């Protein structure tokens, strides 16, 4: 597949895709499809710019770099750990030396 902006892979191997442009030949958004590369779903690119998978749960960053559903904090480089915690570098939280703050959310509760 071409034109993929961002993607995540679930623990069961399902693909979550965000395309650069909405592919006219790919069908409807938020619907599961099968292909040669496996099962996939894709999301609207004018709403979200990144997706990270916490096991089977997609976590989204919107086009304004806000982590959706987690306080709408501006983030860079989001990662999900095996314990379901989320980690990110804050966009707006920069110390006097220019270092970004490392943020953590505990998803297991």
Mean pLDDT within 65-89 = 89
List, in order, residues 6 or more apart from 35 with CB less than 8 Å away.
Answer: 1
Report percent pLDDT > 70 for the chain.
89
Question: What pLDDT, on the 0 to 100 scale, is given for residue 66?
Answer: 93
Mean of the per-residue pLDDT values for the chain? 85
What is the number of structural domains in the chain?
Answer: 1
Reported confidence tier of residue 75, pLDDT bands at 50, 70, 90: very high
- Please state, as a whole number, how many other Cβ atoms lie within 10 Å of the Cβ of residue 52: 21
86-94/100-105 β-pairing: antiparallel
Higher-confidence position of 23 and 101:
101
The single residue listed with the structure tokens 């895709």 is 17
Q: What is the pLDDT of residues 22-54, one digit of tens each?
A: 655 556 777 888 888 889 998 878 888 999 998
Query: Could you give the CA distance from residue 77 to residue 61 in angstroms, rounded to a whole number?
Result: 10
Domain that holds residue 64: 4-105
Structure tokens at 13: 């191997």
Question: What pLDDT, on the 0 to 100 scale, is given for residue 26?
Answer: 57
| C-alpha pair distances (Å), 28 with each of 1, 6, 22, 41 | 16, 18, 10, 9
């Amino acid at each position: 597949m071409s034109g993929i902006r961002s993607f995540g892979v679930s623990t069961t191997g399902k693909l979550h895709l965000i395309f650069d442009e909405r592919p006219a030949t790919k069908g409807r958004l938020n619907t599961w499809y099968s292909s040669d590369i496996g099962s996939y779903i894709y999301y609207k690119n004018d709403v979200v710019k990144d997706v990270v998978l916490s096991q089977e749960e997609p976590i989204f960053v919107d086009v304004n770099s806000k982590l959706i559903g987690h306080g709408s904090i501006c983030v860079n480089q989001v990662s999900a750990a095996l314990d379901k915690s989320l980690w990110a570098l804050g966009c707006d939280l920069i110390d006097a030396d220019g270092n970004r703050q490392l943020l953590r959310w505990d998803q297991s509760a």
